[in-house]
């Protein structure tokens, strides 16, 4: 529908609206009211040519536009960035020293609405730079270049316990950044911003290939970087209790690693037979990656978090066929049955359920299930068997797993066994269980689906938002550097002095 | 550095190629980094683009990795190729048709809603690099539109063009964007202006090859300007005009002589202040006049001399002394298509005589040609051009690649800054000391 609309405003509040469209309708409003076909129709027309303002309501027609107002300039660089890239939000041409609110808005794939905002004061030249200036309050405060993303939270009235998760890695996350006058905290949907910009955040660089894998009975997705290859490979294992996601592997491929994200909790075979996968499933996944024509067979690593990282520690220590250049484990524990299958490990936790408890907010804290960590070697994996470099990323406020205690115990075991030179521990205070790639919002608690029983519990993951989000950024940087060091170079790890 | 055939880079550890940003606007810079090479290895970095017209464009440069095995295109010296020296953006501006391509090509994106795709690759060695498969490659996107920029076909009141709107409620300043004597509708510069916060109308005013037969009064351009002003998201008193070549003549005519159009600022590329109340009556028509036309050693048409006589005839020139808005005049000193230096000199003289010199910003670039385009686009010294009756010739635009590319980069930055000051800001130009 082609539409050419012209509106005139004056200062007295008398609005005259003259509009024509291809179907020849003309409507004129006087005295601030619109004698129109219907406000819904006009709103529809407005929405057509201001598609970015889909949240506009009929109220928008009654907003006065001050003709003398300078046009505010908002720019976000880069406008199309990767999910782990920083951006710069620059506001120019506002009145000097005026109060501003910068807001980020996203409607996720599930339809949930998320927002974040910061309160700022422009400088004497009428400029404000989120990357350099101080937020006086909002969903984040202080100098936080990426606060508009990591402090995203469900808008008022949303369902509790949501996590911002993007399943589709082939499309970008679209975030609308807007600037408002004054320090606002609510009602953004009913206001016209001074300016807005749309930013795309991508999980993949152009040319990254996504290949669903069903060979050898696997349920997985392979991401390959662009180019002829061959590439080092990473087997990527997520934790339990969430839907199967692939975005971390997509990001690894954007950094030059062939990455295979494996669905091991609810793969097709488990859905069909009701039986959990055996150890051989993981060996097949490893071998598939290792033998893939685009992958360098002697440059394989594993990266996992939570339950996935527990499996990685086991595989690295015990699976003969698995030969790793390195492993990265986020909030892992070595306290698990030695030998046995995935199901044995799940049962091991189930048997200790009575040690879980509720906090005042009725959120479940699971970390006690595996505590205290015994000295008895039969209760845990033998870390002395580890032969590859291991990076342990630990959130010290992990309320789901005893990650800190486990990391300390693993370190002790390796010191005793003489292989502690392989271990690097990155331990972050006030950081919770779910350590994601950077700039994703922190989820302190959310619904957790227990494997096998499928019951859902509101679970406390832990972490204090600011510290947790800073930790995510630092951890990801270190994880990438660690993987690059061990997968792209041939430098050998020497014993520590 | 010896150019003798070097052995290809053989290593177990693959080199890592990183190009950032991988998705950028066409006027944004990129950094190309190659790591994990053996130290001191000879490599060639290559850029390949397959155009919408199905032609292949290529740029390449020879590098030597440092002791860490790193090649950084932003910082390292190219030892030769389609560019040499330290040139962060050389892989884009030095693109040229691959050997064996059709002649007289020009790279212009018609569909601005999709990105330009470039394959950046690293090859072992310098000589004969094309015969070796790449060691690594990456794909990058370069966009003319930012997310949220809206494209609207305009067919209103007889005006034909494409309107680009930045995201947001506005209001925004506006720009009327006009190309030159080649005709047709070219959207890319207007799209790019919308990325920088301007409502921009790319105007079509004649079809290629139909300049003489197009019956258009200057009221067409006034209507186009008014259309921008009347848009609800435009601040009617903050609309400027940007014109190249013939478009520059139209811009100056409107600014000086129109009763209904008062641009807030004007930018003219390829200085041209020929006048005429209608397009077909414009002295521009003489460009089909063979008198005064020369050809170079390749039989490419040099038209610059044909227009020199216009400077002697007052009636054929816009009285630029009547212009009362800030004016930026951009031209290349090696312009072989139009006597833009002489014309810019004349514009300056007239404005000085009228006491308006403080409004004028003049940018003249040595060894740059006629087609000063947005930055990092390839330089075209001579391309196919359709003259009246759909006959094709090859026109010499002029310019040497490196200085012309520098001119494009420098002028675009200054054009944006000029627009920002005069269309977004409130400053009045001060009288010169």
Is B28 an interface residue toward A (CB < 8 Å)? yes
B135 CB neighbours in chain A (<8 A) are 228
Pairs from A6-15 (Cβ < 8 Å, separation ≥ 24): A6/B230, A6/B231, A6/B232, A7/B232, A9/A64, A9/A65, A9/A67, A10/A67, A11/A64, A11/A66, A11/A67, A13/A64, A15/A61, A15/A62
Whether residue A419 contacts residue A407, with contact meaning beta carbons closer than 8 Å, is answered with: no
Q: How far is CA B422 from the centre of its chain?
A: 21
Per-residue tokens: A101: 């609110």
| 3-state secondary structure (DSSP) of residue B315 | helix
Among A458, A228, A357, which Cα is nearest to B122's? A228
Q: Which residues of A are catalytic?
A: 306, 398, 433
| Separation of alpha carbons B152 and A51, rounded Å | 12
Residue B132 near residue B9 (C-beta atoms within 8 A):
no
Is it the case that residue A254 has pLDDT exceeding 50? yes
pLDDT of residue B153: 98
Taking the Cβ of residue A293 and every Cβ of chain B, the question of whether any pair is shorter than 8 Å is answered with no
Smallest Cα distance from B205 to chain A, Å: 20
Task: Inform me whether the pLDDT recorded for A3 exceeds 70.
Answer: no
Q: Which of A75, A227, A254 sits opposite B137 (nearest CB)?
A: A227
Instruction: Give the pLDDT band of residue A20 (cuts 50, 70, 90).
Output: very low
- What mean pLDDT comes out for the span B309-336? 92
User: How many other CB atoms are found less than 10 A from the CB of residue B116?
Assistant: 21
User: Strand B301-302's sheet: what is its strand order?
Assistant: B294-295, B301-302, B391-396, B382-387
Distance from CA of B40 to the nearest CA of A (A): 17
ipTM: 0.89
- Give the helix/strand (H/E) hosting A304: strand A295-305
User: So what's the pLDDT on residue A309?
Assistant: 96
Query: Which residues lie closer than 8 Å to A486 by C-beta, 6 or more apart?
Result: A301, A325, A326, A389
Residue B122 backbone dihedrals phi, psi, to 5 degrees? -115, 130
Lookup: tokens for A164: 């911002």
> Nearest-CA residue of chain B relative to A125?
B425
Calculate how close chain B gets to A107, using CA atoms only, in Å: 15
Rg of the Cα atoms in chain A:
26
Question: By C-alpha distance, which of A160, A135, A168 is closest to A150?
Answer: A135
Q: State whether residue B410 is helix, strand or coil.
A: helix
Is B177 an annotated catalytic residue? no
Percent of chain B with pLDDT over 90: 75
Share of chain A above pLDDT 90, in %: 65
What is the pLDDT at residue A18?
Answer: 34
Strand A390-395 and strand A326-330: pairing?
parallel
Mean pLDDT of B105-126: 96
Q: Are A335 and A327 in contact (CB under 8 A)?
A: no
Q: Residue A7 burial (CB < 10 Å; 0-12/13-18/19+)?
A: middle
Cross-strand pairs, B152: B163
Residue B262 tokens read as 């008062």
Could you tell me the end-to-end alpha-carbon distance of chain A, in angstroms, rounded to an integer? 73
SS3 call for B422: helix
Q: What's the rounded Cα separation, in Å, for the pair B176 and B220?
A: 12
Residues forming a β-bridge with A100 = A120, A181
Decide the pairing of beta strands B116-124 and B42-50.
antiparallel
CA A204 to each of CA A197, B21, B189: distance values in angstroms, whole numbers, following the listed order: 21, 12, 28
Band of residue B425 on the pLDDT scale cut at 50, 70, 90: confident
Q: Can you point out the beta strands (E) in A78-157?
A: 80-82, 88-92, 99-107, 113-121, 128-129, 153-154
Rounded average pLDDT over B344-366: 97
What's this model's pTM, rounded to 2 decimal places?
0.87
Kindly report which listed range (B25-34, B115-124, B250-259) carries the lowest average pLDDT score: B250-259
Residues of A with Cβ-Cβ distance to B239 under 8 angstroms: none
Indicate the DSSP class of residue B120.
E
Task: Say whether residue A294 is in contact with chain B using an 8 A CB cutoff.
Answer: no
Is A233 an interface residue toward B (CB < 8 Å)?
no
Q: Are A388 and A327 within 8 A, CB to CB?
A: yes
**What does the alpha-carbon distance between residue B199 and residue B190 come to, in Å, rounded to a whole number?**
8
Question: Is residue B167 predicted with pLDDT exceeding 90?
Answer: yes
pLDDT, averaged across chain A: 85
More reliable by pLDDT, B429 or A470 = A470
Q: How confident is the model at residue A56 (pLDDT cuts 50, 70, 90)?
A: very low
Q: What is the DSSP string of A227-264?
A: SS--EEEEEEE--SSS----HHHHHHHHTT-EEEEE--
Task: Identify the residue among A102, A206, A231 best suited for mutation to test binding to B, counting B beta carbons within 10 A and taking the highest.
Answer: A206
Please state, in angstroms and rounded to a whole number, the distance separating the CA atoms of residues A278 and B71: 46
Q: A82 is written with which tokens? A: 């990767």
* Tens digits of residue pLDDT in A68-77: 456 798 999 9
Q: Is the pLDDT of residue A402 over 80?
A: yes
- Model pLDDT, residue B283: 53
Q: How far apart are CA B69 and CA B298, in angstroms?
A: 44
Structure tokens at A230: 């061959």
Given B186, B273, B301, B370, which residue is catalytic?
Answer: B370
Residue of chain A whose Cα is closest to the Cα of B197? A73
* 3-class DSSP assignment, residue A151: coil
Tell me the mean pLDDT in the region A224-243.
Answer: 91
Q: What is the C-alpha separation between A441 and B205, in angstroms, rounded?
A: 51
- What is the reported pLDDT for B7? 41
Q: What is the mean pLDDT of residues B200-222?
A: 84
In a mutational test of the B interface, the residue from A4, A77, A125, A232 whose CB has the highest number of chain B CBs within 10 Å is A4
pLDDT at A248: 97
Rounded to whole angstroms, the Cα distance separating A328 from B205 reads 62
pLDDT of residue A493: 55
| Cα R_g (chain B), whole angstroms | 23
Residues of A in contact with B147 (CB under 8 A): 79-80, 174, 197-200
Over residues B264-307, the pLDDT tens digits come to: 999 999 988 887 555 555 555 555 555 678 888 988 989 888 88
Q: List, in order, residues 6 or more apart from A52 with CB less than 8 Å away.
A: A176, A196, A198, B148, B167, B168
Rounded-to-10 torsion of CA A240, A242, A244, A247: -110
Helix axis angle for B246-257 and B219-230, nearest 10°, is 80
Q: Look at residue A47 in the predicted model and tell me its pLDDT.
A: 40
If residue B223 lies in a helix (H) or strand (E), which one and from where to where? helix B219-230
Q: DSSP characters for B62-85?
A: EEE--TTS-EETTTSPB-SBSS-B
């Amino acid at each position: 529908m082609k539409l050419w609309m012209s509106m005139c405003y004056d200062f007295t509040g008398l609005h005259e609206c003259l509009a024509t469209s291809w179907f020849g309708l003309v409507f004129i409003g006087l005295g601030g009211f619109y004698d129109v076909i219907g406000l819904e129709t006009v709103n529809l027309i407005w929405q057509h040519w201001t598609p970015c303002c889909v949240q506009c309501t009929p109220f928008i027609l009654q907003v006065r536009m001050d003709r003398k107002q300078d046009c505010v300039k908002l720019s976000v660089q880069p406008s199309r960035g990767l999910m782990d890239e920083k951006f710069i939000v620059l506001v120019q041409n506002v009145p000097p020293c005026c109060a501003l609110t910068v807001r980020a808005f996203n409607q996720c794939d599930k339809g949930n609405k998320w927002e974040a905002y910061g309160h700022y004061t422009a400088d004497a030249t009428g400029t404000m730079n989120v990357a350099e200036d101080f937020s006086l309050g909002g969903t984040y405060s202080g100098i936080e270049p990426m606060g508009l993303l990591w402090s995203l939270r469900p808008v008022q009235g949303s369902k509790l316990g949501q996590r911002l998760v993007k399943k589709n890695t082939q499309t970008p996350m679209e975030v609308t950044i807007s600037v408002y006058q004054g320090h606002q905290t609510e009602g953004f949907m009913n206001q016209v911003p001074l300016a807005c910009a749309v930013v795309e955040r991508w999980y993949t660089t152009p040319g990254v290939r996504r290949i669903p894998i069903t060979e050898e009975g696997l349920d997985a997705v392979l991401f390959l970087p662009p180019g002829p290859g061959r590439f080092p490979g990473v087997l990527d294992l997520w934790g339990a209790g969430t839907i199967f996601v692939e975005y971390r592997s997509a990001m690894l491929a954007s950094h030059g690693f062939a990455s295979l994200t494996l669905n091991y909790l609810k793969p097709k075979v488990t859905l069909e037979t009701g039986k959990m996968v055996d150890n051989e499933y993981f060996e097949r996944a490893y071998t598939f990656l290792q033998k893939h024509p685009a992958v360098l067979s002697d440059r394989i690593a594993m990266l996992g978090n939570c339950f996935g990282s527990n499996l990685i520690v086991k595989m690295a220590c015990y699976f003969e066929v698995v030969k790793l250049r390195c492993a990265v484990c986020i909030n892992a524990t070595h306290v698990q049955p030695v030998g046995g299958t995935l199901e044995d490990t799940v049962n091991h936790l189930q048997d200790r359920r009575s040690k879980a408890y509720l906090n005042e907010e009725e959120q479940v804290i699971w970390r006690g299930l595996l505590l205290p960590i015994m000295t008895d070697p039969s209760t845990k994996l033998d870390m002395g068997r580890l032969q590859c470099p291991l990076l342990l990323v630990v959130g010290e406020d992990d309320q789901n797993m005893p990650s800190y205690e486990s990391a300390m115990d693993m370190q002790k075991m390796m010191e005793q066994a003489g292989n502690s030179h392989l271990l690097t521990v990155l331990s972050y205070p006030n950081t919770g269980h779910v350590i994601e790639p950077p700039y994703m919002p922190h989820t302190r608690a959310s619904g957790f689906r227990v494997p096998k029983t499928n019951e859902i519990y509101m679970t406390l993951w832990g972490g204090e938002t600011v510290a947790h989000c800073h930790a995510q950024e630092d951890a990801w940087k270190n994880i990438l550097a660690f993987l690059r060091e061990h997968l792209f170079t041939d430098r050998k790890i020497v014993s520590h002095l | 550095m010896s150019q003798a055939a070097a052995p290809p880079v053989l290593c177990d550890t693959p080199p890592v190629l990183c190009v950032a940003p991988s998705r950028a606007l066409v006027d944004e810079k990129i950094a190309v980094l190659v790591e994990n090479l053996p130290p001191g290895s000879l490599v060639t970095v290559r850029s390949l683009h397959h155009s919408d017209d199905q032609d292949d464009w290529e740029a390449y440069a020879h590098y030597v990795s440092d002791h860490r095995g790193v090649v950084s295109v932003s910082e390292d010296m190219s030892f030769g190729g389609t560019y040499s020296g330290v040139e962060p953006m050389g892989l884009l501006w030095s693109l040229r048709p691959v050997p064996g391509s059709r002649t007289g090509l020009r790279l212009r994106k018609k569909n601005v809603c999709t990105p330009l795709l470039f394959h950046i690759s690293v090859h072992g060695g310098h000589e004969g690099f094309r015969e070796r498969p790449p060691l690594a490659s990456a794909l990058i996107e370069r966009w003319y539109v930012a997310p949220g920029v809206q494209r609207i076909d305009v067919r209103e009141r007889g005006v034909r063009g494409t309107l680009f709107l930045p995201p947001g409620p506005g209001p925004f300043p506006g720009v009327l964007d006009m190309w030159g004597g080649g005709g047709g509708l070219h959207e890319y510069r207007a799209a790019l202006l919308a990325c920088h916060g301007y409502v921009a109308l790319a105007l079509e005013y004649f079809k290629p090859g139909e300049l003489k037969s197009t019956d258009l009064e200057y009221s067409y351009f006034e209507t186009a300007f008014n259309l921008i002003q009347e848009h609800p998201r435009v601040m009617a008193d903050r609309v400027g005009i940007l014109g190249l070549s013939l478009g520059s003549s139209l811009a100056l005519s409107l600014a000086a002589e129109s009763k209904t159009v008062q641009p807030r600022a004007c930018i003219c590329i390829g200085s041209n202040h020929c006048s005429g109340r209608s397009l077909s009556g414009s002295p521009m028509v003489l460009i089909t006049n063979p008198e005064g036309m020369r050809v170079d050693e390749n039989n490419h048409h040099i038209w610059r001399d044909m227009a020199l006589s216009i400077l002697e005839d007052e009636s054929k020139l816009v009285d630029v002394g009547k212009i009362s808005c800030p004016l930026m005049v951009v031209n290349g000193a090696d312009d072989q298509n139009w006597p833009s230096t002489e014309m810019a000199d004349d514009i300056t003289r007239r404005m000085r005589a009228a006491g308006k010199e403080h409004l004028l910003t003049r940018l003249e670039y040595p060894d740059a040609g006629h087609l000063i385009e947005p930055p990092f686009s390839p330089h075209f010294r001579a391309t196919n051009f359709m003259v009246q009756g759909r006959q094709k010739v090859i026109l010499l635009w002029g310019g040497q690649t490196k200085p012309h590319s520098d001119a494009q980069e420098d002028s675009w930055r200054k054009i944006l800054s000029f627009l920002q000051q005069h269309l977004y800001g409130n400053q009045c130009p001060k009288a010169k000391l």
